[in-house]
């Protein structure tokens, strides 16, 4: 399993490398292929194609230099497109159809859609890609029509094996080109989907989580409350309020108040893990939905109260002590959520009026 995972990781890294360097690799690869064509046509003594491939190699060297400026990328693509069309047409006219040079024209059609998707903005990308693809198809059909009505300029007397080798080289080159760009295209779709998933998760978190404390916000807590009420089972709501929190803000500043609030939220999340949901209900009020029994709920709230009372909040060089008062109410079938919250709130203020730093059930 580990070997497979490592191998998959290497494949992903390789395809990512291809994606990051796709345009230089494309230009240099086509340039290398044209260099091989140059030697092939020298060997075959087809002078027009020798001259054509000299200019082709120089063209791709220039295109490689143009890639240093991203603004020139579309012009590099058009240059490549035109060169492949003309080269395939010239090869068909000079030596005939049977050597497979026209296959590169067919490879241009998906290539046009891929490049326009990357380089052309807005909806016109589809129109431009379709137009270029249609022109490529017409060029392919035109090459075939030319060969039907006139013989090639050069009548080559090549062995069947050598002719097969040239044809297969062109076929394999075209196939590799299309496979590599298909892999890159699929990978980019996968990367885009992952980015979208991450963005959606972030948006969902922003919509459901209080940014200061990391607790659920009131909107998301309402969903949990509704689900709990619909289940028909008994649960408990604990309304928590930081004692004399205004005094903390007035004495030590709002940054210190934020630190106290975040630390108290962290303590509550830790103590209630697996027992229910914790929400910043508003200001310094925190609402806890407990799915355990009354005794367990009371025990957990007492642990929270003691932990906060014994905790020293460090705000820069300031050491602050705080406490919380907690009111608990049982929610029973037939009672509205608002009434249960009001009961918990009432118990909270009973605790406030009778000395604070206590749990009232």
Q: Which residues are CB-neighbours of 142 under 8 A, at least 6 positions away?
A: 89
How far, in Å, CA of 185 to CA of 70, rounded?
A: 19
Q: Cα(first)–Cα(last) distance of the chain, in Å?
A: 54
Query: Residue 176, Cβ neighbours under 10 Å: how many?
Result: 12
Cβ pair 313, 321 in contact under 8 A? yes
Bridge-partner residues for 290, per DSSP?
A: 236, 276
Please name the residues in contact with 275: beta carbons below 8 A apart, sequence gap of 6 or more.
Answer: 290, 291, 292, 296, 297, 300
Is residue 234 part of the annotated active site? The answer reads no
Q: Select which of 284, 285, 302, 317 is catalytic.
A: 284
Q: Which helix (H) or strand (E) holds 137?
A: helix 124-149
Are 96 and 152 spatial neighbours (Cβ–Cβ below 8 Å)? yes
146 SS3 class:
helix
Q: Closest Cα partner for 33 from 59, 70, 68?
A: 59
Alpha-carbon distance values, 29 to 35, 123, 216 (Å): 10, 30, 54
- Residue 184 half-sphere exposure, CB side, CA atoms within 13 Å? 22
Strand order, beta sheet including 276-282: 276-282, 285-290, 235-242, 324-331, 359-360
Hey, which residues are catalytic here?
Answer: 284
């Amino acid at each position: 399993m580990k070997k497979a995972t490592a191998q998959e990781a290497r494949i992903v890294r390789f395809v990512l490398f291809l994606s990051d360097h796709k345009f230089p690799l494309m230009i240099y690869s086509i340039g290398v292929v044209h260099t091989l064509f140059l030697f092939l046509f020298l060997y075959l003594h087809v002078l027009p194609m020798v001259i054509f491939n000299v200019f082709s190699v120089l063209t791709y060297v220039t295109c490689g230099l143009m890639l240093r400026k991203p603004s020139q990328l579309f012009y590099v693509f058009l240059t490549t497109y035109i060169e492949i069309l003309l080269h395939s047409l010239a090869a068909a006219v000079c030596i005939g159809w049977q050597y497979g040079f026209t296959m590169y024209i067919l490879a241009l059609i998906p290539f046009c859609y891929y490049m326009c998707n990357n380089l052309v903005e807005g909806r016109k990308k589809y129109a431009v890609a379709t137009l270029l693809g249609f022109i490529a198809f017409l060029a392919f059909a035109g090459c075939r029509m030319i060969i039907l009505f006139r013989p090639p300029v050069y009548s080559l007397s090549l062995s069947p094996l050598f002719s097969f080798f040239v044809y297969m080289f062109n076929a394999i080159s075209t196939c590799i080109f299309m496979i590599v760009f298909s892999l890159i295209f699929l990978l980019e779709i996968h990367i885009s989907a992952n980015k979208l998933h991450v963005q959606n998760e972030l948006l969902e978190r922003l919509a459901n989580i209080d940014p200061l404390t990391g607790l659920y916000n009131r909107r998301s807590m309402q969903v949990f409350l509704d689900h709990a009420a619909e289940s028909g089972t008994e649960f408990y709501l604990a309304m928590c309020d930081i004692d004399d929190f205004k005094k903390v803000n007035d004495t030590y500043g709002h940054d210190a108040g934020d630190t106290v609030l975040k630390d108290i939220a962290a303590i509550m999340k830790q103590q209630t893990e697996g027992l229910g949901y914790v929400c910043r209900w508003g200001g310094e009020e925190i609402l806890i939905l407990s799915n355990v029994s009354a005794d367990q709920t009371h025990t957990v709230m007492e642990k929270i109260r003691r932990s906060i009372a014994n905790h020293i909040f460090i705000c820069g060089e300031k050491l602050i002590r705080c406490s919380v008062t907690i009111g608990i109410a049982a929610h029973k079938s037939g009672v509205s959520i608002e009434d249960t919250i009001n009961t918990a709130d009432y118990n909270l203020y009973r605790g406030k009026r009778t000395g604070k730093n206590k749990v009232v059930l």
